[in-house]
Structure 1
Amino acid sequence: MLIETRGIVFRALKYSESSLIVDIYTEARGLQSYIVNGVRSQRSKHNASIYQVMTLVDMVAGVREDKGLSRIKEIKSACVYRAIPFDVRKSAVGLFMAEIARKTIREAEANPELFNFLYQTFQFLDQTQQPIANLHLHFLVELSAYLGFMPGGDLTLDTPVFDLQEGVFSDNSPAAAYCLDLELSKAFYALLNSNFTECHLLRLPAGQRRQLLSKLLDYYRLHLEHLPEIHSHQILQEVLG
């Protein structure tokens, strides 16, 4: 059986001398893994660059009901990035978002809303002319909604701090375990109430931005079992300064 679908390349691993094993998040079947034989040989019909992380593709691929690796029959680029490959900041943000998506999305089933969110996010990252220093933070917030643990509640005089473990704004002391302090809770609430295209308007000091990233990753670890270690955020922090 063959399916025709859009996809987002999450990862490509070398396999044998000339092949790849590729993880692609597909619109039709969710997260799928494929074996691509001979793509790294000189006689290959396909350029291995199409399997680079973040690439948006149109593809025709086989479907296996068992857990074996499927094969790709046809594949082509669906959108050629104009900025990401040449902008170190955009590249770092994109690689971070791709790593987060790969390590948190595990379902091999269609989720059109989640797919469109990811697809449009990578397109926006490539096309936007606005600053992107807050984009990865907003991405983490929005993705949490699709994963089932969107932060809730409101920041008020009675609930002035965000509790990472409970996932809501709380009346707990800022010193309580897993609670953001007062200033970071205010910044987090402002982030929650911004939208993707305007999150660059938030004036976050670099130190506060680093703290928010660290705490959001803690939030993910608290709400997702067996979350693998995230690596690209260290490079991201250096690039964004």
Structure 2
Amino acid sequence: MIVHTPVIVLKSFSYGDTSLIARCFSRDYGKINLIVKGARSKRSPKSAQFQPLSYVDVIYRNKPNRELQVLSKVNFRESWPRILQDLRSVTLSMAILEMTEKTLSEEDPHPGLFNTLADVLRAFNEKKADPNILFWFYECALLTHLGFRPNLDQRELPGIVLPDPNSGPNSGIILAGLLAENIHDLPAELVTPEDRQIISNYLWILMRYHFDGLAKIRSMAVVRQILADS
């Protein structure tokens, strides 16, 4: 079957002498692995097209029960160059990609989450929202779309006592706004240092509780420092 779908590249790495393997989040088929033949040859533009944060349209022949699919064609769909010009934005954006890669199952479509990821990265690029808010917005969306929507009134989960997300001056209001899933109407309340600490800690505890392996993401120590200090 010939597949034509937009994808966001989560990570890529060398394969053989001239090729790449790109792990991508596709809108229609979930997480997929593509072999990009010849991408690392000098005359090929495909290496640039399959860097993390790339948003491209791909065509490939899907072979069921095959772990790697062979790319046929690719075209840029949209680019977000300004993310790479800001250390805070690129750090948070790359952590979002890594969280997505670690939490999604292979070929398990989540088109709503895909659209949210594109919206969040676009907002990072346009610099029209607080990067902290965008990062928390995506954490809330990831939890929600994968079946673990936070309940701000719930104090316990099996085996764990949750911190009170409403204990900051505005933390509860901000989290409720983020859970509304409207990126065009993000919370406008003042985020105090206490709010930052509470929101960041609350969402990260939920992420680690529901998804195995997230604690091993090395970049999260830096990300949590950014979220607490910004």
Question: TM-score normalised to the size of structure 2?
Answer: 0.84
In 2, distance between residues paired with 1:164 and 1:38?
51
Counterpart CA distance in 1 for 2:46 and 2:79 is 14
Q: Which deviates more from structure 2 when the two are superposed, residues 191-200 or residues 110-119?
A: 191-200
Q: CA RMSD in A?
A: 2.6
Q: Any residues of structure 2 matched to 1:1-241 within 5 Å, and which?
A: 1-43=1-43, 45-152=44-151, 154=153, 162-163=154-155, 165=157, 177-180=161-164, 183-184=167-168, 187-194=171-178, 195-199=182-186, 201-206=188-193, 208-225=195-212, 227=214, 229-239=216-226, 241=229
Identity of matched residues, %: 21
Partners of 1:6 and 1:65 lie apart in 2 by 19
Q: Deviations over 1:183-233 (max 9, x none)?
A: 249614432224434446232234542443233122122223454622323
**Structure-2 separation of matches of 1:2 and 1:135:** 35
Q: Which structure has the larger Rg over C-alpha atoms?
A: 1
Unpaired stretches in structure 2, ≥5 consecutive residues? none
Q: CA deviation at 1:5?
A: 0.8
SS of structure 2 residue aligned to 1:149: coil
Letter in 2 for 1:202: E
Distance (whole Å) between structure 1 residues aligned to residue 136 and residue 11 of structure 2 = 22
Structure 2 CA distance for partners of 1:153 and 1:209, relative to 1, 3 Å? closer
Q: Residue 183 of structure 1 aligns to a residue in which SS?
A: coil
Q: Measure the CA separation in 2 of the matches of 1:185 and 1:225.
A: 31
Question: Is contact 1:103–1:228 with CA below 8 Å preserved after alignment?
Answer: no
- Pair 47,206 (structure 1): closer, same or farther in 2 beyond 3 Å: farther
3-state SS in 2 of match to 1:110: coil
In terms of fraction of residues, the more helix-rich structure is 2
Change (3 A) 1:182 1:192: closer
Distance verdict in 2 for CA 1:141–1:164, change over 3 Å? farther
C-alpha deviation, 1:39, in angstroms? 1.3
- TM-score normalised by length of structure 1: 0.80
